[in-house]
Amino acid sequence: MALIEDTLRKPTDPLQEGLELRMYSMRMCPYAQRARLILAAKGVKYNCINIDLNNKPDWFFDINPYGEVPVVIHNGSNVYESLICAEYLEEAFSTPTLYSSEPVKRAWEKIYFNHWTKKGIPAFYSLLKAGHLDPELTNRLNEHVSTMDQYLKKADTPYFHGNTPGFSDYMIWPWFERIPMMGEITGYKTDETKYPTITAWVARMWKDPVVQECKIDSRLFVEHYGKYRTGRPDFTIGADAKRAPVAEALENLDGLRDPKTRFKQT
């Protein structure tokens, strides 16, 4: 349902006929993938613009002062931060509903993905950046995979949302999709015997049409994160045409510029 392109369209540029919103993304970004999964689940037709995070235009900081993706442009307004974008899309496009209608179940859905966001994701990136099976970092990731396994076991449902994939599943999924790919770099593998509930969930999620629509290219992922670990990631990987490289150092792995270079490019 997405028109995906690398053409750098501005927020004020008109949408192509039949599209409902524009989203700024990056092909390998799991945070932007959260919003893409919600949009796919709701069948929203939209324009997905892949941004080169090493070469952001100045106007991009006007729609997100952090200079990060995703950014959703809808009805003339901009929304950013991955969870906020996803929540906005859940409310702006009411069907199908991806949250439980019961307050307690909805609260627990938020507990699930908040734990993974606060604990699991940092553990994932720490091991990825190490590039090998560092015992401490491996145990740290295993600890939080185990927590997710226990959460789902206690819920006693096929998915964190319930009997079908929902909001919580899509907020957690991008990193579990990437774990086998990260394993090609580090050697890490989720132990099916230790974590049978979460590994069964992964297998079920792969059968979801929404996941299939939004999946990333595993070959490009491994290539991208091989460069990511050096502090010089290629954010245009997979693009049909690459822009000229920018002659400035990358200050951190999120692709943010030093404030002194804020107005260097137009």
DSSP state of 3: E
In-domain check, residue 251: yes
Q: Does residue 18 sit in helix, strand or coil?
A: coil
Is 214 one of the catalytic residues? no
pLDDT digits (tens, 9 = 90+) for 125-159: 999 999 999 999 999 999 999 999 999 999 999 99
Q: Where are the alpha helices (DSSP H) in the chain?
A: 30-42, 58-63, 82-92, 103-115, 121-130, 135-155, 167-186, 196-205, 209-214, 218-228
Q: What is the pTM of this model?
A: 0.90
> What residues have CB less than 8 Å from 105, skipping those under 6 apart?
162
If one counts the domains in the chain, the total is 2
Residue-number span of the structural domain to which 186 is assigned = 103-214
* Same-domain check for residues 131 and 92: no
In the predicted structure, residue 242 carries a pLDDT above the cut 70: no
Mean pLDDT for 169-174 is 98
In the predicted structure, residue 114 carries a pLDDT above the cut 90: yes
* Same-domain check for residues 88 and 160: no
In-domain check, residue 225: no
Mean pLDDT for 81-93 is 98
Out of 29, 48, 85, 214, the active site residue is 29
In-domain check, residue 221: no
What's the number of CA atoms in the CB half-sphere (13 Å) around residue 166?
Answer: 23
Q: Residue 72 is part of a domain; what is its CATH number?
A: 3.40.30.10
Q: Where are the alpha helices (DSSP H) in 51-166?
A: 58-63, 82-92, 103-115, 121-130, 135-155
* Same-domain check for residues 133 and 154: yes
In the predicted structure, residue 250 carries a pLDDT above the cut 80: no
